[in-house]
Structure 1
Amino acid sequence: MLFNSINFAIFLSIVFFIYWFLANRNLKLQNVLLLISSYFFYACWDWRFMFLLLFSTLLDYFAGLKIQNSSSNTHKKRWFWLSIIINLGFLGVFKYYNFFAESFAESVSYLGWKTSPLLLNVILPVGISFYTFHGLSYVIDIYKNRINAEKNFVDYAVFVSFFPLLVAGPIERATHLLPQIKKPRDFQYSKAADGLRQILWGLFKKIVIADNCAEYANQIFNNSADMNGSTLVLGALFFTFQIYGDFSGYSDIALGTARLFGIELLRNFAFPYFSRDIAEFWRRWHISLSSWFKDYLYIPLGGSKGGNWMRIRNTFIIFIVSGFWHGANWTFIVWGSLNALFILPSIILKTNRNHLEIVAQGKIFPTLKEMAQIAMTFSLTVFAWIFFRAENMEHALHYLSGIFSPSLFTFPKFNDMENAKTLFGSIIIFLLVEWQGRENQYALEGMKNIIFKPIRWLSYILILLCMYFYGNFGKTVEFIYFQF
């Protein structure tokens, strides 16, 4: 059930009505409804994996209780490692087994040994990386005595499986979400209206920007051998806006949907393409994952305490692991390594905390220096996205060799080039709206401050008309991060 589908609109309307009109002021009933709705939502993808989600939830629920109630440190460690090993084991089997098996076979083939690895023909359970990380952070926090184990199973199960964030995040923390689940919630019109605004902008990002960009990005990447260098650059740019519109659009819809039920999720994007260096980019891109790796991997490894060598080593580890988290392909590992290399100068020079506030705060235009910094950071990001999008390393290298060739200085040419001009206009308008709203939580948040209601509603109508006339409804395109 896709967020940008009629089925989801009907599902959300029904759950919203029951939640506020039939279960209002009854916290237990509201949470039971959220749990049932979340499992129904997940079952719409593949009902068989519902049992994997339930097993993972039961495992971490009971492991958390056992860890907290353990009478000895040995017993505590036993339950902790049982949860960690099983969770990572499931993730490893479903997501990484074939990658390791094929990589091993390829490696030993260089020694003259021929092997035929046993590969698993299994479907990757949607959202497994996200709900596994929910459970891992919960168990780790209990083990480290940061939180107490949750005794109410329904409340804990809602934390793991809450349907807006279930299949593609953001990656929530028990310290942030569980207290909201346990706290009585009353309907607030202003919060619901704000949620609808964010949903509207998320849908615009997905339908108008991401799905249209996907059509041209796929055409260029899938036929890259026949494209000239300038067209390949365009393909990389199309994918750059596709992945941002797709993933940040999903996050906007998720946060807006949760707000309809009186729940605030963690912010996942903060206008990353306006960043002035790679360190700032990673504070603004997929924030929940970046902070997860910082708290549960970077800091336990020693963080920045051991000098430059320690900081560099740990930075490379988290970026490589982050790349591998995205998928079982060497392209993702190279993508992560490239970002580690890009951030290296700021680590060595200790300038990685220079840009903590949004660019040109309180101003209409950035300075020339800021514009140059944004352009450089954006260019490095686009370069790295080529590896993220490529089918394999050979494809990525051929794509780059095509860019850095004399044909780079020829005019771009691909099918439907004329139709793409409308998309260029949409991207420019999109960037202007994002720039105007960059100091808010999301681009349209400032509209609630427009006192004259006709202007506000006219803006909403224009966005809807833009979605109707320029949205890509020809083929339903799944959100990119469902595969992770």
Structure 2
Amino acid sequence: MVFSSLFFIFAFLPITVILYYLFGNHLKNIILLTASLFFYAWGEPVYVLLMCTSIMVNYCICILLGRGKASRRKRKFLLIISLAFNLGCLAYFKYFGMIMSTIGSIGNWNLNIGTPALPIGISFYTFQILSYVIDVYRGKIKSQKNLTLLSLYITMFPQLVAGPIVNYGDIELQLAHRKMTFKKFASGLRRFLCGLAKKVLLANNIGLLWSEVKAMQSIEISVLMSWLGIIAFTLQIYFDFSGYSDMAIGLGKMFGFRFKENFQYPYISQSISEFWRRWHISLGSWFKEYVYIPFGGNRVGKWKMIRNLFLVWFLTGLWHGASWNFVLWGLYFGTLILMEKLFLQKSMIRWPKAIRHIYLLMFVVIGWVFFEFSNLTDILNFLQIMFGVGDNPIIDSQAIIKLKTYICLYILCIIAASPWPKKLALLFKRIHFKIYRLAINLYYCLLMFLSTAYIVSSTYNPFIYFRF
């Protein structure tokens, strides 16, 4: 089940909200947990058992970790068991095919072994479980003895299948005690509608252009067409994922939770380092807290810092998918960030802001080529077309037609990816508050109407990050 489906918007969500608020505080967690399990089972009923098994295993481990009498050796042994179980499940379901394919190619063997279906959201909920177990081991939080509350933390449907990754400590108090008000619910509903509009009105429509370009034969793609296509994907993946995060944060508010932001206008950044502080913030924070810092971060000398940086970016790439192009994509950004840390950052301060911004956008757009093509040959071919290497024409009539067709949507997406709409809305709010209230209510009604109309009329509704 996806958030941008008619069943979710007009059946699942209203029924869940009504039951949640109708039965009050004493049953709210049971209702939300039941709804979350139903939500996950809607698409993959078998893998609910896997998730429930993970919850039970880690619940028992953390109960044992939480006992004050446990020795240091026993605590470390329990942590190793948890890491082996959780990462083992993730490796089997997500990376088994990649591992066997790599072994087969190295040994020139034909390993036709069936690969298991990938459980939706396994990367996200596994990382949440790991953060909980590690924090209990560190003594940063206490183990949760209430199985219902721990299960709710892991299975909560707003952020179950595509994040943001929520640390247990951030919502520990909210799980047991949270204040539900009409103001918070209304704020959450508005945030949900913004995310829904980002997804179905912007991401889906601009994504159609990229799907057309990607399906073309390389000899048919002009230089202009290649740039139009990859810029379309650059915008699509932002509105797809940030739209989902907005919907998740909004849904969380509707049920009384406050999740941290996952995106902060990444395309206005002026360095690669800044971009990754603004893009998928919850994942970057997870790797920083549970991999980079434990290995010493940047406090262990230059060479070990380089090792730590590449380890994080290797794992970041691998987390995104069971294909070597994702690893290449991660190491590509790791190399750029290392260059900025070692020598580029000092000189970049003297660059004009426009040049820094062009530098950022150029390398990010190139990075999405590594992300989107799984075959190294396809990656190199597309990059060659982008930079005019080969016999492909610079401009062709088909590219001109596409540019004319999509130019207004490009402009709308670029404006929507910046903080200016929000700034102008706040300025208008201060100047004409009463008119603002009327206008903003009409605006959200319009978003709901247009989004629903699109969902009814279109069959193109992918979620890019569902495959991770």
User: When the two structures are superposed, what TM-score results if normalisation uses the length of structure 1?
Assistant: 0.89
Contact 2:178 2:256 in 1 (8 A): no
| Larger mean Cα displacement after TM superposition, 417-426 or 295-304 | 417-426
Post-superposition offset of 1:59: 1.0
The reply to whether residue 68 of structure 1 matches residue 66 of structure 2 is yes
Pair 409,118 (structure 1): closer, same or farther in 2 beyond 3 Å: closer
Partner of 1:364: none
- Measure, in 1, the Cα distance between the counterparts of 2:17 and 2:116: 35
Amino acid at match of 1:11: F
Task: Give the alignment of 1:259-408 within 5 angstroms.
Answer: 259-349=253-343, 351=345, 369-405=352-388
Contact 2:6 2:452 in 1 (8 A): no
The reply to whether residue 24 of structure 1 matches residue 18 of structure 2 is no
**Please, what is the CA RMSD of the aligned residues?**
2.6
Post-superposition offset of 1:382: 0.4
Post-superposition offset of 1:183: 1.0
Post-superposition offset of 1:189: 2.1
Pair 384,413 (structure 1): closer, same or farther in 2 beyond 3 Å: farther
- Measure, in 1, the Cα distance between the counterparts of 2:287 and 2:53: 24
Pair 202,220 (structure 1): closer, same or farther in 2 beyond 3 Å: same
Pair 437,175 (structure 1): closer, same or farther in 2 beyond 3 Å: farther
The reply to whether residue 460 of structure 1 matches residue 459 of structure 2 is no
The reply to whether residue 219 of structure 1 matches residue 212 of structure 2 is yes
- Measure, in 1, the Cα distance between the counterparts of 2:191 and 2:247: 6
The reply to whether residue 104 of structure 1 matches residue 87 of structure 2 is no
Amino acid at match of 2:18: F
* Deviation readout 1:221-276 (Å, 9 max, x if unpaired): 12241212221111111111111010011000010011111101121111101111
Amino acid at match of 1:88: L
Consecutive unaligned residues of structure 2, counting only runs of 5 or more, are none
Contact 1:130 1:171 in 2 (8 A): yes
Post-superposition offset of 1:467: 4.1
- Measure, in 1, the Cα distance between the counterparts of 2:361 and 2:168: 34
Partner of 1:172: 166
- Measure, in 1, the Cα distance between the counterparts of 2:417 and 2:25: 37
Pair 234,408 (structure 1): closer, same or farther in 2 beyond 3 Å: farther
Task: Give the alignment of 1:187-266 within 5 angstroms.
Answer: 188-225=181-218, 226-266=220-260
Contact 1:220 1:414 in 2 (8 A): no
- Measure, in 1, the Cα distance between the counterparts of 2:427 and 2:122: 35
Partner of 1:363: none
Q: Greater helix percent: which structure?
A: 2
Contact 1:268 1:288 in 2 (8 A): yes
Q: Give secondary structure in 2 for the equivalent of 1:475.
A: coil
- Measure, in 1, the Cα distance between the counterparts of 2:153 and 2:87: 19
User: When the two structures are superposed, what TM-score results if normalisation uses the length of structure 2?
Assistant: 0.92
- Measure, in 1, the Cα distance between the counterparts of 2:438 and 2:254: 23
- Measure, in 2, the Cα distance between the counterparts of 1:66 and 1:444: 52
Contact 1:95 1:328 in 2 (8 A): yes
Amino acid at match of 2:384: S
Contact 2:62 2:136 in 1 (8 A): yes
| Larger mean Cα displacement after TM superposition, 451-460 or 60-69 | 451-460
- Measure, in 2, the Cα distance between the counterparts of 1:184 and 1:404: 54
Post-superposition offset of 1:216: 1.4
Post-superposition offset of 1:118: 5.0
| Larger mean Cα displacement after TM superposition, 390-399 or 471-480 | 471-480
The reply to whether residue 478 of structure 1 matches residue 462 of structure 2 is yes
Amino acid at match of 1:170: P
Contact 2:136 2:143 in 1 (8 A): yes
Contact 1:194 1:445 in 2 (8 A): no
Post-superposition offset of 1:119: 2.1
- Measure, in 2, the Cα distance between the counterparts of 1:444 and 1:157: 39
Pair 149,468 (structure 1): closer, same or farther in 2 beyond 3 Å: closer
Contact 1:224 1:232 in 2 (8 A): no
- Measure, in 1, the Cα distance between the counterparts of 2:352 and 2:234: 23
Q: Give secondary structure in 2 for the equivalent of 1:208.
A: helix
Post-superposition offset of 1:3: 0.5
Contact 2:206 2:235 in 1 (8 A): yes
Pair 461,183 (structure 1): closer, same or farther in 2 beyond 3 Å: closer
Amino acid at match of 1:215: L
- Measure, in 1, the Cα distance between the counterparts of 2:234 and 2:397: 19
Partner of 2:7: 7
Pair 412,12 (structure 1): closer, same or farther in 2 beyond 3 Å: farther
- Measure, in 2, the Cα distance between the counterparts of 1:421 and 1:230: 12
* Deviation readout 1:356-390 (Å, 9 max, x if unpaired): xxxxxxxxxxx992232222101110000001011
- Measure, in 2, the Cα distance between the counterparts of 1:211 and 1:56: 34
Pair 224,399 (structure 1): closer, same or farther in 2 beyond 3 Å: farther
Post-superposition offset of 1:422: 5.0
Pair 298,447 (structure 1): closer, same or farther in 2 beyond 3 Å: farther
Q: Give secondary structure in 2 for the equivalent of 1:304.
A: coil
For 2:154, which of 145, 160, 179 is the aligned residue? 160
Post-superposition offset of 1:423: 3.7
Give the percent of matched residue pairs that are identical in Structure 1 and Structure 2: 33
Pair 307,78 (structure 1): closer, same or farther in 2 beyond 3 Å: closer
